[in-house]
Each structure stands twice: as C-alpha cells, then as structure tokens.
Amino acid sequence: MSRVSTAYLLTCAAIGVAGGIVLAGANWISTALFATVPFVSVALAGIWLLPAVVALRLLERPLAGLLVGLISGLVIVPFSGYGFASVATNVWWAFFAELPFLIVLYRFWRTWQYYAGAVVVGIVYPLLAAASFDLFSFPWPLQLVFVLLTIASAAVGVFVGIVIADALRRAGVARMARRRPRVAR
C-alpha cells in the first residue's frame, strides 16, 4: 500500500469537518421534515454526498470519499440525535460517491462517474428506506416521484460538490495534497 501524505490527510480532515458542520444542520432539518412531511425530507438527501464528492473531485485519490465520510460522521456524532449511527450513515452515502471510481479500479476520473453514483444511490436509498417512509403504501406514481426526487437531490448534491471542489482546485488547495508521496529507498 502506498503511503499517504500529511497534506492529503489534512485536506481530507478539513473537508470532513466542513462537511460535518453542514450535515449537522441538514440532519436536524431532515429529521424535522421527516416527522412532518417525509417526502420533502428526501429532497435534502444529496447533501450527504457533498463532502465525499468534494474530496474525490479535489484529490482524485482512492478512498478519499470514504475517509471524508468517516470524518464528517464523527464530527456530527455529538450534534446528532442518532449518535454513532451518523458515522455509518455518512460512510454509506460516501460509498456511493466512491463506487463508480472503485468499479474501474480508480483508473480514470470523469465527471459522469459522479453523476452515475448519484443515480445509483437515488435508486438504492428509496428501496432501503421504503419501510421508514411507508413508501409501498402510496400509489406507484408517488413512489416514482419519491425515487425521482431522490435522484434529483443526489444530482444537485454532486453538482454543488463539483463546483466547490473545482473552486478549491483553482485556489490551489489540491496542489500539495494530490501529489503522491515519495517512498524512501
């Protein structure tokens, strides 16, 4: 396994903490919406992709999304009513941001891959959360709207993550963190 640089780890930590701060607020808003208007709460789902997408786009390194998902999950533990389950939730969402790159063994990094991950999670999440939302008790057109809303939210989360990462790259944030560390011989 290749070694990782301190700059890479610190960049992941900074993205994870910033993502955790954003997700702490989103978590409370989503929880309140779920209790009152569950379908609307899914419109925030894409926010959970944001930290991982920023890391993957900025660093283009394997497992950066999962590391940031882990860090952002740890950040929100004290602020979430879900405790350490927040860590699992954030890593779960980060996995879908990472999946399209893992499938090709991180050989290339194309913009469409981020959106492919958004579509996959936009389909998988409603299936896994169907019981929580009592989704199958609704007519099929509303079920379809739910899935499409999840996909749209995930796509918006990816878009915002790409915009943020590209702005950070233009500002020079990724220069040191993207370098592969030299291994002493």
Two tokens, residue 44:
């925030």
Look up the pTM and report it: 0.90
Q: How confident is the model at residue 182 (pLDDT cuts 50, 70, 90)?
A: low
* Closest among 160, 22, 33, 5 to 90, alpha carbons compared: 22
Q: How confident is the model at residue 2 (pLDDT cuts 50, 70, 90)?
A: low
Two tokens, residue 80:
């979430």
* Closest among 143, 135, 147, 30 to 89, alpha carbons compared: 30
Task: Report d(CA 25, CA 110) in Å as an integer.
Answer: 30
Looking up tokens 């959360």, which residue turns up?
Answer: 129
Write the pLDDT tens digit of every residue in 52-86. 999 999 999 999 999 999 999 999 999 988 889 99
Position 27: which residue type? N
Question: Which tops the pLDDT comparison, 178 or 12?
Answer: 12
Task: Report d(CA 156, CA 31) in Å as an integer.
Answer: 20
pLDDT at residue 1 is higher than 50 = no
Task: Report d(CA 2, CA 7) in Å as an integer.
Answer: 15
Write the pLDDT tens digit of every residue in 79-136. 988 889 999 999 999 999 999 999 999 999 999 999 999 999 999 999 999 998 888 9
Q: In this structure, what are the phi and psi dihedrals at residue 139, rounded to the nearest 5 degrees? A: -60, 155
Two tokens, residue 74:
């740890």
Predicted confidence at residue 177, as pLDDT, reads 65
Task: Report d(CA 86, CA 78) in Å as an integer.
Answer: 10
Q: How confident is the model at residue 3 (pLDDT cuts 50, 70, 90)?
A: confident
